Structure 1
Amino acid sequence: MTRSRIDYGNMMHRAMQGLIADVLCQVRDNGLPGEHHFFITFDTRDEGVEMADWLRDRYPEEMTIVIQHWFDNLTIDDEGFTITLNFGNSPEPMRIPFDSLRTFVDPTVEFGLRFETQDDDEDDEEDGEDIDDTEDDIADEDAPKGSGEVVSLDKWRK
């Protein structure tokens, strides 16, 4: 089947993943500048997520990690990143695919991204339904509706 429209939602999704990869590469190479730190929420059910069993048991659907004071072994590739984080004085390595990301927030500069699940969008397209991912907390109610990601800073403002 040939697509009759440009898939802006998927293109934006990939671009935002690339932005996060670039930020993580800078952190890997130079450390976290100033007071920057990140809250990253991801879907622990994603098949590419690698984490300790006890963490998966504690966070069976979704987990938010903080990259701030102590982290080690940060590596980034086209599909995701690996990092070792400290959980109660227990270093735990993790593998987080970019496709499993739900949010990326740097509260220091009031920057945040939220990724809509692409599976839901694909299911809607296969069923022939129109996609309308309108969110309650969209910063601009006149923003275009569709399958693209919503970038809303309001919930992270002080």
Structure 2
Amino acid sequence: MSGLIDYGNLMHRAMRGLIFEVLTDVAQNELPGEHHFFITFDTSHPQVEIADWLAERYPGEMTVVMQHWYDNLSVTTEGFGVTLNFGDAPEPLYIPFDAIKTFVDPSVEFGLRFENSDTEEAETTELSVVQERGEADPAPEPATGEANADIVSLDSFRKT
């Protein structure tokens, strides 16, 4: 043991757990009120399962919207599966939690952003949490409207 608490990875797991709990509740009880999600994920992640035409169209990342129509939402501890409509063509997707880059619920101005960066010693995971107050933060591309939020980056607390 290095003698240091790895807060970055602890936060990473906690935020993935939050997404797991939210999606598990939605799978059991539907989306409440005006809640909806913009989920951006890495389409090249080895465990992502999407149609070939979607992988070709979105070779690096893709943002999906869970709002008015979604079907077959199933959640495991590793990720979630859902069928979404792409131009009147329902497509099943499987997205592991490790592939998620952002998770945003614009109805309550909440979002999570997971960023990877390489350091000289090793790859580390940084986490930014979008909170419900503060200045404008750009919403994901499909989002309509603006979200007012602060972004708190763990890098500001990291020792150099």
Bin for the TM-score computed over the shorter chain = 0.7 to 0.9
Structure 1 length as normaliser, TM-score? 0.80
Percent identical residues:
59
Question: 2:144 maps to what in 1?
Answer: none
5+ residue gaps in structure 2? 138-146, 150-160
Deviation at 1:63, TM superposition (A): 0.1
Deviation at 1:61, TM superposition (A): 0.2
- Decide which of 128, 132, 136 is 1:150's aligned counterpart: 128
Which structure's residues are more often helix, by fraction? Answer: 1
Distance in 2 of aligned mates of 1:104 and 1:124: 28
Trace 1:61-76 onto structure 2 (pairs within 5 A).
Answer: 61-76=60-75
5+ residue gaps in structure 1? 132-146
Whether the 8 Å contact between 1:103 and 1:114 is mirrored in structure 2 is yes
Task: Report which structure shows greater RCO (CA 8 Å, sep ≥6).
Answer: 1
Q: Secondary structure at the match of 1:150?
A: strand
In the comparison of the two structures, how many residue pairs are matched?
136
Question: 2:8 maps to what in 1?
Answer: 9
Deviation at 1:22, TM superposition (A): 0.3
Which structure's residues are more often strand, by fraction? Answer: 2
Q: What letter is aligned with 1:157? A: N
Deviations 1:72-107 (A, max 9, x none): 111111110000000011110001000000000000
Distance in 2 of aligned mates of 1:66 and 1:108: 13
Question: 1:125 maps to what in 2?
Answer: 121
Q: What letter is aligned with 1:126? A: A
Trace 1:41-60 onto structure 2 (pairs within 5 A).
Answer: 41-60=40-59
Deviations 1:12-59 (A, max 9, x none): 001000000100011101100011100000000100100000000000
Distance in 2 of aligned mates of 1:125 and 1:71: 42
